[in-house]
Amino acid sequence: MWGMHLTVDVANCNENRSDADAIARFAKDMVERINMKAYGDPWIVHFAKENPQAAGYTLTQLIETSNITAHFCDYTGECYFDVFSCMEFDVDEALDVIAEHFGSRDWVYNCIVRQAPEAKQIAAAE
């Protein structure tokens, strides 16, 4: 296994989705609770101010084993999360962190194992 990739699409999130400081606290908590190590500070930027239906913060938190990203929609109250790491992590703990910070478990999620084929597998298929 090269890595785990958790995607979580959440509806009915609370006002923390529109608060850069709350998003930064979420990033720090997520990193700690899934036993990762942050690589620098989170990058939190508000995008699409000219399009209110798409406007919201985007989070990128690098971790030593990959990254945590998210987009928060001001208008709809939806939030979209990705946690990718080449080190295993506790999916249930990650989900708990999201619910605790954004107040909703109205979600769909998927966790897949990521693994590129070995070079000899590619050569055999040709």
How do residues 81-121 score in pLDDT, each as one tens digit?
999 999 999 999 999 999 999 999 999 999 999 999 987 76
- pLDDT tens digits along 2-28: 899 999 999 999 999 999 999 999 999
pLDDT digits (tens, 9 = 90+) for 65-88: 999 999 999 999 999 999 999 999
Q: Tell me if residue 89 falls in helix, strand or coil.
A: coil
Give SS3 for 80: strand
Q: The domain that contains 59 carries what CATH number?
A: 3.60.90.10
Domain count within the chain: 1
Query: What angle (nearest 5°) sits at the alpha carbon of residue 57, between those of residues 41 and 36?
Result: 35
Residues 31 and 84 sit within 8 Å (Cβ to Cβ): no
Pick the closest to residue 85 from 44, 125, 30 (CA basis). 30
pLDDT for residue 54 is more than 90: no
Closest by CA to 107, choosing from 13, 19, 26, is 13
69 token code pair: 């990203």
* Domain assignment of residue 29, given as a range: 3-125
pTM: 0.91
66-100 burial code (b ≥16 CB/10 A, e <16): bebbbbbbbeebbbbbbbbbeeebebeebbebbbe
